[in-house]
């Protein structure tokens, strides 16, 4: 069964820092990998989706990379802002089933 791990579980940085969140998975036979943001008490908002044939995707200050062979993805956030404070989850898709990591809780201090 696919296992998805996110490290670190929590991260606190000062405003303006660039940061990297990590996601690893055990089965490289994935269709895609998706990064989500979750604010407290809310649902998940999709940030980026990387298809299995792609190496990276960018949206604004966010850049996600995918290395299928090593079972890793990173989410890079440039010039972090307090509004980026949230929990970030990654999910991998195998045969229309999605497997989630436990998330990284990010706190960006003003």
For position 98 contacting other proteins by CB under 8 A, the verdict is: yes
Per-residue exposure over 25-43, b if at least 16 CB sit within 10 Å of its own CB, e if not: beeeebebbbbbbeeeeee
User: Is 69 a residue that touches other proteins (CB under 8 A)?
Assistant: no
If the CB atoms of residues 89 and 106 are measured against other proteins, the closer one turns out to be: 89
Q: Residues in contact with other proteins, total (CB under 8 A)?
A: 24
Q: Of the candidates 2, 49, 56, 62, which one interacts with other proteins according to CB under 8 A?
A: 49
One of 43, 60, 83, 110 touching other proteins (CB under 8 A): 43
- CB-count burial class (<10 Å; 0-12, 13-18, 19+) for 55: exposed
């Amino acid at each position: 069964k696919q296992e998805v791990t996110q490290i670190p579980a929590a991260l606190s940085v000062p405003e303006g820092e660039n940061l990297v969140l990590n996601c690893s998975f055990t089965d490289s036979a994935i269709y895609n990998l998706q990064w989500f943001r979750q604010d407290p008490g809310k649902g998940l908002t999709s940030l980026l989706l990387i298809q299995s044939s792609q190496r990276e995707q960018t949206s604004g200050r966010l850049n996600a990379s995918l290395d299928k062979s090593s079972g890793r993805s990173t989410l890079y956030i440039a010039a972090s802002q307090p509004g980026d404070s949230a929990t970030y989850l990654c999910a991998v898709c195998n045969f229309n089933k999605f497997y989630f990591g436990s998330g990284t809780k990010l706190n960006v201090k003003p």
